[in-house]
């Protein structure tokens, strides 16, 4: 199957590290011009841009806060000015504020939802205006396996990721008539900076619940995102697809 994205323009939020970085590199390596979004690490974003170019692709770093609708609108306008269009949006930006929910502070709850869920809403709404006019687009939301099955100690994160699944299905129905597909990817335990800081006992317990017996790699998530970004995925929309080693079936 072809995976040529030549001429396509993509935006990957939270693209400076982890899963977002892997997605940005994958799309760029297949010919897409990738805008690598970041909030606080311009150096990391520029490193991804340089790597994209090493792989033969093209990319630019674009700093903005996804939780600000004004900042998002300005960023999408900038993409329109530079590239005239936006074919692919990957809503990957996310944070986690963990702890028992009875001790969770209001701002920890609000900040998590603002970035993980409202951020995806802001970006999707702004991008959809371009995609609907072009009558083509791919929106891919990076949710999480815990958004499907729940997880103790992560109430804000789980809630935001579950909300992202619902948003995926609703937006998919609204945009289908304009040939814009919207899907969600739910990674399981993927080896990234976010998971490296977890206690070893937690990692061991998690591994015991993964039928394939190993943790996933960011590139394995990126491969699925690549497929959903292509024209060949045109009959897939409103779907939630797991990359979790069988952790949730």
> Catalytic: 157?
yes
Among 43, 40, 41, 38, which Cα is nearest to 24's?
Answer: 38
Among 2, 119, 131, which Cα is nearest to 79's?
Answer: 131
Q: Is residue 247 part of a domain?
A: no
Q: Print pLDDT tens along the chain (249 aa).
A: 457 999 999 999 999 999 999 999 999 999 999 999 999 999 999 999 999 999 999 999 999 999 999 999 999 999 999 999 999 999 999 999 999 999 999 999 999 999 999 999 999 999 999 999 999 999 999 999 999 999 999 999 999 999 999 999 999 999 999 999 999 999 999 998 767 777 788 888 889 999 999 999 999 999 999 999 999 999 999 999 999 999 999
CATH number for position 101: 3.40.50.720
At 194 the pLDDT is: 65
* Active-site annotation holder among 35, 38, 136, 157: 157
Counted domains in the chain: 1
Q: Is residue 105 part of a domain?
A: yes
At 1 the pLDDT is: 44
- How many Å apart are CA 187 and CA 164, to the nearest integer? 13
Q: Is residue 246 part of a domain?
A: no
C-alpha of 16 from chain center: 12
Q: Which domain holds residue 79?
A: 9-241
How many residues are present in the chain? Answer: 249
Q: Is residue 50 part of a domain?
A: yes
């Amino acid at each position: 199957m072809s995976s040529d994205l030549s001429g396509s323009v993509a935006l990957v939020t939270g693209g400076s590290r982890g899963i977002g970085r892997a997605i940005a590199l994958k799309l760029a390596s297949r010919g897409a011009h990738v805008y690598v979004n970041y909030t606080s690490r311009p150096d990391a974003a520029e490193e991804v841009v340089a790597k994209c170019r090493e792989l033969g692709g093209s990319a630019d770093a674009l700093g903005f806060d996804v939780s600000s609708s004004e900042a998002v609108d300005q960023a999408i306008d900038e993409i329109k000015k530079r590239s005239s269009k936006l074919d692919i949006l990957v809503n990957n930006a996310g944070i986690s504020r963990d702890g028992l929910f009875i001790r969770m502070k209001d701002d920890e709850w609000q900040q998590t939802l603002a970035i993980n869920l409202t951020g995806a809403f802001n970006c999707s709404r702004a991008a959809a205006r371009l995609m609907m006019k072009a009558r083509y687009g791919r929106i891919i939301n990076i949710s999480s396996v815990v958004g499907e099955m729940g997880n103790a100690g992560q109430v804000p994160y789980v809630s935001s990721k579950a909300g992202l699944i619902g948003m995926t299905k609703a937006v998919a129905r609204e945009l289908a008539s304009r040939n814009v597909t919207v899907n969600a990817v739910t990674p399981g335990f993927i080896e990234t900076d976010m998971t490296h800081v977890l206690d070893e006992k937690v990692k061991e317990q998690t591994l015991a619940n993964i039928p394939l017996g190993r943790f996933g790699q960011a590139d394995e998530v990126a491969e699925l995102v690549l497929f959903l970004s292509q024209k060949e995925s045109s009959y897939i929309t409103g779907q939630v697809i797991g990359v979790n080693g069988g952790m949730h079936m």
